Amino acid sequence: MAKRSIVGRAQSAICREITDLLVDYMTGELDPETLSAFEEHLALCPDCVAFLNTYKKTVQVTRSLRYGSIPPELRKRVHEFVHRRIKKGRRGR
Amino acid sequence: MSGDAEDRALVERLKTGEEQALEALYHRYSARVYRQASILLGNEAEAEEITQEVFLTLYTKAKTFRGEAAFSTWLYRLTLNAALTRLRRRKKGKEVSYEDYLPRYEPDGHHLGGEGSVVDWSHDAEKQLAGKELQRILQQALDQLRPMDKAVVVLSDLEGVPNREIGKTLGLSVPAVKTRLHRARLFLRGKLAVSLGHSPY
């Protein structure tokens, strides 16, 4: 992603450029000047606000995917399988 | 002793063939390996097989662990490699084009359709669809990602692994991790938007 700085161009910064900054924005990696220009653009652009909110929501739904921990009987089954295979491997040596 | 130091000590014992060390590592990590495999494969039966495979590989390949990365990173790499091999082997269905779900812009770079064209569905999503339904749609969309992109999303957004670590685990540069993560998130966002009856753009 080759990015042109948006510093000093909040009004003329285009939405495509704002979208390209979302990963760094989410991890707090934007430098202070870029962050300030980013937020200034958002204050002027409801579409980018809507886009940011739905982008964040997507990440939030992804984070909410929780898989139950390994069921105890499965844990036991895998454990026994691994040990059987190891023993078999030893006998075969 | 820190968790990683304890892991390293266990691997050193495992290198000498001590099965109790494998027991301890299994006790510590089997739940995580299984969870990661379930998410990557979207299938619990295959996740069980991957968990078996990973712990067998751990037993036979422990000697190749040189300790450059944390043991948990190394183990995750084993899990990923096993899962990615399966994902690549799967009979490919009709490949979904990311492009259809990525944002589109006017020639001047503003959102397609002019002002007011992007709908903010973030607050209504749960009202329209129950949380579980949203998750089901998202899992389906995740399963349509290319294997490496899926691995990046799982590591970043589900496991909270920093981009630098993801790069080390998957053999990608940090900018490459960010590019994959961003496109994958945009695709997932587009899929959710369409499911909620909105434009993906």
Q: Which of B59, B89, B119 is the last residue of a domain?
A: B89
ipTM for the assembly? 0.83
Please report residues of B whose CB lies closer than 8 A to that of A86.
19, 22, 56, 59
Per the CB < 8 A criterion, the answer to whether B201 and B111 are in contact is yes
Contacts of A49 in chain B (CB under 8 A): 120
- Does a structural domain hold residue B200? no
Report, as an integer, the average pLDDT of B185-192: 97
In this structure, what are the phi and psi dihedrals at residue B113, rounded to the nearest 5 degrees?
100, -5
Phi-psi region of B82 (alpha: psi -120 to 50; beta: other; left: phi over 0): alpha
Closest Cβ opposite residue B188 in set A53, A62, A89: A62
Angle, to 10 degrees, between the axis of helix A46-63 and the axis of helix B174-195?
Answer: 100
Band (pLDDT 50/70/90 cuts) for residue A2 is low
Q: Do B178 and A23 touch (CB under 8 A)?
A: yes
Report yes or no: B149 and B180 within 8 Å, Cβ to Cβ: yes
Measure Cα distances from B146 to A42, B52, B84, B118 in Å: 32, 24, 10, 26
Mean pLDDT: which of A54-63, A65-74, B71-80 is highest? A54-63
Answer yes or no: do B180 and B114 share one domain.
yes
Q: What is the distance between the alpha carbons of residues B183 and A20, in angstroms, rounded to a whole number?
A: 10
Contact B109 A14 (CB under 8 A): yes
A44 — contact with chain B (CB < 8 Å)?
A: no
3-state SS of chain A is: CCCCCCCCCCCCCCHHHHHHCHHHHHCCCCCHHHHHHHHHHHHHCHHHHHHHHHHHHHHHHHHCCCCCCCCHHHHHHHHHHHHHHHHHHHHHC
Tell me: do B20 and B76 sit in the same domain.
Answer: yes
Asked if the model's pLDDT at residue A71 lies above 80, the reply is no
Identify the three-state secondary structure at position B175.
Answer: helix
Q: How far is B118 from chain A (nearest CA, A)?
A: 5
Summarize pLDDT for B60-99 with one digit per residue, the tens. 889 999 888 889 888 988 998 999 888 888 766 666 789 9
Helix axes B71-89, B3-15, angle to 10 degrees: 70
Say yes or no: B22 contacts chain A, CB-CB below 8 A. Answer: yes
- The number of angstroms, rounded, from the C-alpha of B10 to the middle of its chain's C-alpha atoms is 27
Q: How far is B108 from chain A (nearest CA, A)?
A: 7
Mean pLDDT across chain B: 89
**Total count of domains within chain B:** 2
Examine residue B201 and state whether it is found in any structural domain, yes or no. no
What are B159's two structure tokens? 């496991």
Least confident of A17-31, A64-78, B168-182: A64-78
Residues from chain B that touch A53, judged by Cβ atoms under 8 A, are 120, 122-123
Stated pTM of the model: 0.83
Give the integer Cα–Cα distance in Å for B31 and B53.
14
CATH number, domain at B74?
1.10.1740.10
Cα separation, B9 vs B71, in Å, equals 10
Q: Domain range holding B123?
A: 98-195
The answer to whether position B189 is within a domain reads yes
| Same domain for B105 and B185 | yes
Name the residue among B163, B88, B152, B74 with its Cα closest to residue A62: B152
B52/A78 Cβ within 8 A: yes
**Of B19 and B96, more confident:** B19
To probe the interface with B, which of A3, A11, A14, A15 has the most B CB atoms within 10 Å?
A15
Statement to judge: residues B36 and B113 lie in one domain: no
Name the residue among B27, B180, B166 with its Cα closest to residue A76. B27
What CATH number has the domain bearing residue B118?
Answer: 1.10.10.10
Distance from CA of A9 to the nearest CA of B (A): 14
Distance from the B70 Cα atom to the nearest Cα atom in chain A, whole angstroms: 23
B118-150 tens-digit pLDDT: 999 998 887 777 778 888 899 899 989 998 999
Point out the residue among A16, A47, A86 whose CB comes nearest to the CB of B117. A47
Chain-chain contact of A58 with B189 (C-beta, under 8 angstroms): yes
Which of A50, A54, A67 is facing B39, going by the closest CB pair? A67
Tokens of B120: 């903010």
Task: Report whether pLDDT(A84) > 70.
Answer: yes
